[in-house]
Amino acid sequence: MVATAVSSSGMSDRTSFLPPASIIFGSSLLMQAIQQKVEKVASSGVPILIQGDSGTGKGVLARYIHNRSVAPDAAFVKVNCAAIPGSLLESELFGYEKGAFTGAYSSKAGRVEQAHGGTLFLDGIDEIDMSLQAKLLQLLQDGQFSRIGGQEDMHVKLRVICATNRDLEQKIVNGRFRQDLFYRINVVNIQLPSLRGRSGDIGSMVAHFLEAHRTRHNVQVRPLSSAVMKLLERHPWPGNIRELENLIERYVILGSEDAVSSELLSWEQSHAVSEIPADGQIHLKKVTRQAVHELERKIILSVLEANRWNRKRTASALKISYRALLYKIRRAGLPSKRTLTNTSVIARPFVAKGD
């Protein structure tokens, strides 16, 4: 069961690449609750509003809902509202008649018509101009619309799923989003959590993305080491699931863990400055211990690189025993052997267990 998905650029892809439900929803209680809600409303055809930070999988969830609708074989049409200038978005959505404006040499059906019988997914719904919001409201109210330059109303039957990473209620207060449209698109609301809020799912996501991109690029790659997996699990993922997938695809293509670890180490090093809490209270002993751990880790990394990752020579250069070096490497979450291909490694701040 595969539905054709048409994007706002006119390109088509296939939902056969949709991750399985176990990857989309994972194992956290919050995502399990979302899955239960989705299963209840998927076949109802009511409008759904999906909210969440960029990269949390709003588009993937929209396709999952479509695949479990009453018409999974019908079109799934995605429109990225933020990527289309406001002056062009109306014609993209609703189409136009011949002669409607300069350059309209023939009639053209819009995305709404293409989605007839299926699903219209409006990503970035907050980017739609107020004037166009009124026309969209009419579509949601009675299934009617008119092409630009058209004299007659057209009728369609479709499901509308909207997505945004903005606070629409605040936009209503600011006069930038219609309240009546908000009520129409928000019949069912789904709030997706950030990836850092479901870190327990990172392991299964990594395995899925490794296999998916290994197959896509027709290459063989090793599973990521435990040291790199620890880095992944500690990363705050500001780009969420999209950032994780891009990182894994880079690893698959380049074939080196440095493609993963060096970026994570660099990011964490650049965000290593400690902030004083708003109440002015700070645990001096804890902060001092943290600084020592960070400095020690940087020194070990630097000496390992200088000695081409030879641990015996590194231990000798640091004037510590080989066993002590191995312990410090494990405690700092460093690779047990050289897996990095670059000659320079940017150290990351280290949080010792119990701190």
How many C-beta atoms lie closer than 10 Å to residue 1's C-beta? 8
Residue type, 127: E
Q: What is the rounded distance in angstroms from the CA atom of residue 249 to the CA atom of residue 251?
A: 5
Asked whether residue 351 carries a pLDDT value surpassing 90, the answer given is no
Q: Six-digit token pair at 197?
A: 């809020």
Q: What is the rounded distance in angstroms from the CA atom of residue 324 to the CA atom of residue 224?
A: 25
**Torsion angle, CA of 152/129/15/19, rounded to 10 degrees?**
-150
If one compares 132 and 354, the residue with the highest pLDDT of the two is 132
Classify residue 220 by burial, with Cβ atoms within 10 Å: 0-12, 13-18, 19+: exposed
pTM given for the model = 0.74
Taking domain 195-271, whether its CATH number is 1.10.8.60 is answered by yes
Q: Six-digit token pair at 13?
A: 């892809």
- Could you give the angle at which helices 240-254 and 202-217 cross, rounded to 10 degrees? 50
Q: What is the rounded distance in angstroms from the CA atom of residue 119 to the CA atom of residue 43?
A: 12
pLDDT tens, position by position, 91-106: 999 998 888 788 888 9
- Confidence (pLDDT) at 353: 41
Q: How far is CA 19 from each of CA 16, 23, 27, 175, rounded to the nearest angstrom? A: 8, 6, 15, 38
- Confidence (pLDDT) at 101: 84
Residue found under tokens 């699903």: 119
DSSP string covering 251-263:
HHHH--THHHHHH
- Confidence (pLDDT) at 112: 97
- Confidence (pLDDT) at 345: 39
> Could you tell me the sign of the dihedral formed by the alpha carbons of 11, 12, 17, 23, in that order?
positive
pLDDT tens, position by position, 40-66: 999 999 999 999 999 999 999 999 999
Q: Six-digit token pair at 280?
A: 């002015």
Confidence of residue 24 (pLDDT cuts 50, 70, 90): very high
Q: What is the average pLDDT across 75-100?
A: 91
The boundaries of every CATH 1.10.10 domain in the chain are 281-355
Percent share of the chain, pLDDT over 90: 55
pLDDT tens, position by position, 228-287: 898 898 888 999 999 999 999 999 999 888 878 888 887 776 665 545 555 556 667 766
| Distance of alpha carbon 149 from the chain centroid | 38
How many C-beta atoms lie closer than 10 Å to residue 316's C-beta? 15
Contact 336, 227 (CB under 8 A): yes
DSSP string covering 170-198:
HHHHTTSS-HHHHHHHTSEEEEPPPGGGG
pLDDT tens, position by position, 179-197: 999 999 999 999 999 998 8
Q: Six-digit token pair at 228?
A: 């790199």
**Torsion angle, CA of 325/327/329/334, rounded to 10 degrees?**
160
| Class of CATH domain 281-355 | mainly alpha
Buried-state track 283-307, b at ≥16 Cβ within 10 A, e below 16: eeeeeeebeebbebbbebbebbbeb
| Class of CATH domain 4-193 | alpha beta
- Confidence (pLDDT) at 270: 67
Asked whether residue 119 carries a pLDDT value surpassing 70, the answer given is yes
- Confidence (pLDDT) at 350: 40
Residue 126 has phi, psi (to 5 degrees) of -70, -15
